[in-house]
């Protein structure tokens, strides 16, 4: 597989087992100064088993996340527009030979209906998801424009990210022109033999075409890229180091790394009897999340509703900065008649809470729920974003905009208990700000009280 030297990665894992406590402390100090870690550094952290050292890693990860982004956690919802797919991925319910999956591709009118459902509950950010099928980029563009056009009162979707199959450069340019935020593409596994074993047919069976798609997207001008692996397909230490090796290649050749990294673990899927070859335990998963935060401190980290409510709440303290909420993993899943359908979902959902419940849980732990999309709209993307994120200068903007979007949600959508807790959190956060910022925030809040929505810095 391109850009991945498997023997080097295996050697790093083997030699890292001999790393001493003093060296681990030095690596953590390096990371807490917001420096990127080397593959060797990261391998050392991934092999730590000693509980006191693990606790140091977890505390360092929370420190780094707070230094870069503050206590805000961005919320989004996935919107599946199609589960028709040409690929045969052994672990996925959408694979082309799965006869148990009910196939569906949403019309533009149905997409608009789904968006209205989400807007009525307070959602403002969408990850649009589609299987690899005919129709491709032109349908994606039409869907993206429809999502942005839909409104419920003063509320509209602020940012549409997209998870779709690899495209060519001209097709990626069409996505860019349609106004997408992040283009998200998971390699699934960087281990070549495993990749070829689990992707048995269809365009996705070519691992090099998939890994090269990130290059093509960047060449097309899409400078916010989302990456990830599907943990459980191969050794989690190898996968993490291989993904970081891919990131080093991007940093060297394009001058920037990913805007986000996602950390999904395999979940059961209808119509598959796939046996997870390398299950990742909760303890291993906690370590992976924390080590990724330390290794690539500037990158947003995403946790989906595959995970349980308890572990999602916990991992926001280990470096996670974005989470999905109230997810449905089937086309049309947000309409009332489809909410309980299980014949066309991609995978099982672990966290069944609605958006209000997720927001309430974040507030209880002193995190600031955020629907901000200001960087995308202020063109703070790609290298411009990295210049602010790497030294931690983005934090003040993130925290300010998070409080603005939280007040909008509390005023317009929240339950009584969440309102009370949320207003209390806002009061506490304002006290921490200097007088100038408090005054500026007061102006924004007065505007919200007078009906103005969607202001940002």
290: how many CB neighbours lie within 10 A of its CB? 27
Render each residue's pLDDT in the chain as its tens digit; 457 residues.
888 999 999 999 999 999 999 999 999 999 999 999 999 999 999 999 999 999 999 999 999 999 999 999 999 999 999 999 999 999 999 999 998 888 999 999 999 999 999 999 999 999 999 988 877 899 999 999 999 999 999 999 999 999 999 999 999 999 999 999 999 999 999 999 999 999 999 999 999 999 999 999 999 999 999 999 999 999 999 999 999 999 999 999 999 999 999 999 998 888 888 999 999 999 999 999 999 999 999 999 999 999 999 999 999 999 999 999 999 988 999 975 544 355 577 777 889 999 999 999 999 999 999 999 999 899 999 999 999 999 999 999 999 999 999 999 999 999 999 999 999 999 999 999 999 999 999 999 999 999 999 999 9
Contacts of 169 (CB under 8 A, 6+ apart): 216, 219, 220
Query: Could you give phi then psi for residue 244, rounded to 5 degrees?
Result: -65, -30
Count of helix runs (H) and strand runs (E) in the chain: 18, 13
Is residue 320 within 8 Å of 73, Cβ to Cβ? yes
DSSP 312-327: HHHHTTTT--EEE-S-
pTM: predicted TM-score of the whole model, two decimal places: 0.95
Is residue 218 within 8 Å of 225, Cβ to Cβ? yes
Q: DSSP E strands: which ranges in 195-333?
A: 199-201, 225-228, 260-262, 300-303, 322-324
Pairing mode of beta strands 368-370, 72-82: parallel
The tally of CA atoms less than 13 A away on the side-chain side of residue 300 is 24
């Amino acid at each position: 597989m391109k850009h991945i030297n498997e023997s080097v990665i295996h050697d790093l894992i083997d030699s890292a087992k001999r790393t001493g406590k003093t060296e681990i402390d030095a690596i953590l100090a390096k990371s807490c100064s917001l420096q990127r870690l080397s593959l060797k550094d990261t391998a050392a952290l991934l092999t730590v088993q000693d509980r006191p050292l693990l606790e140091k890693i977890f505390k360092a990860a929370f420190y780094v996340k707070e230094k870069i982004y503050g206590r805000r956690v961005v919320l989004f919802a996935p919107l599946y527009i199609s589960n028709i797919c040409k690929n045969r991925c052994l672990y996925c319910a959408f694979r082309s030979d799965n006869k148990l999956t009910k196939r569906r591709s949403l019309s533009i009118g149905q997409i608009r209906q789904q968006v209205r459902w989400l807007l009525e509950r307070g959602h403002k950010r969408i990850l649009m998801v589609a299987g690899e099928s005919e129709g491709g980029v032109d349908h994606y563009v039409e869907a993206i424009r429809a999502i942005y056009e839909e409104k419920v009162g003063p509320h509209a979707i602020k940012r549409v990210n997209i998870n779709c199959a690899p495209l060519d450069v001209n097709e990626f340019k069409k996505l860019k022109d349609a106004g997408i935020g992040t283009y998200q593409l998971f390699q699934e596994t960087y281990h070549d033999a495993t990749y070829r074993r689990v992707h048995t047919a269809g365009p996705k069976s070519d691992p090099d075409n998939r890994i090269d798609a990130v290059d093509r997207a960047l060449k097309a001008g899409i400078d916010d890229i989302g990456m990830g692996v599907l943990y459980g397909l191969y050794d989690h230490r190898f996968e993490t180091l291989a993904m970081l090796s891919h990131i080093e290649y991007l940093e060297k050749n394009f001058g920037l790394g990913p805007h986000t990294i996602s950390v999904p673990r395999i979940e059961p899927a209808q119509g598959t009897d796939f046996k997870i070859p390398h299950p990742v335990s909760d303890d291993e998963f906690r370590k992976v999340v924390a080590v990724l935060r330390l290794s690539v401190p500037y990158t947003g980290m995403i946790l989906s509703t595959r995970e349980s409510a308890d572990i999602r709440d916990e991992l926001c303290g280990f470096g996670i900065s974005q989470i999905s909420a109230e997810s449905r993993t089937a086309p049309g899943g947000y309409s009332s008649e489809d909410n309980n359908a299980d014949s066309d979902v991609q995978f099982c959902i672990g966290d069944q809470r609605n958006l209000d419940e997720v927001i309430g849980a974040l507030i209880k732990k002193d995190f600031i729920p955020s629907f901000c999309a200001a960087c995308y709209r202020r063109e703070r993307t790609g290298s411009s974003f990295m210049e602010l994120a790497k030294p931690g200068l983005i934090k003040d903007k993130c925290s300010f905009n998070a409080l603005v979007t939280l007040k909008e949600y509390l005023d317009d959508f929240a339950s009584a208990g969440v309102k009370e807790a949320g207003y209390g959190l806002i009061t506490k956060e304002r006290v921490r700000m200097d007088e100038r910022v408090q005054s500026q925030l007061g102006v924004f809040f007065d505007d919200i009280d007078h009906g103005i929505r969607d202001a940002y810095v």
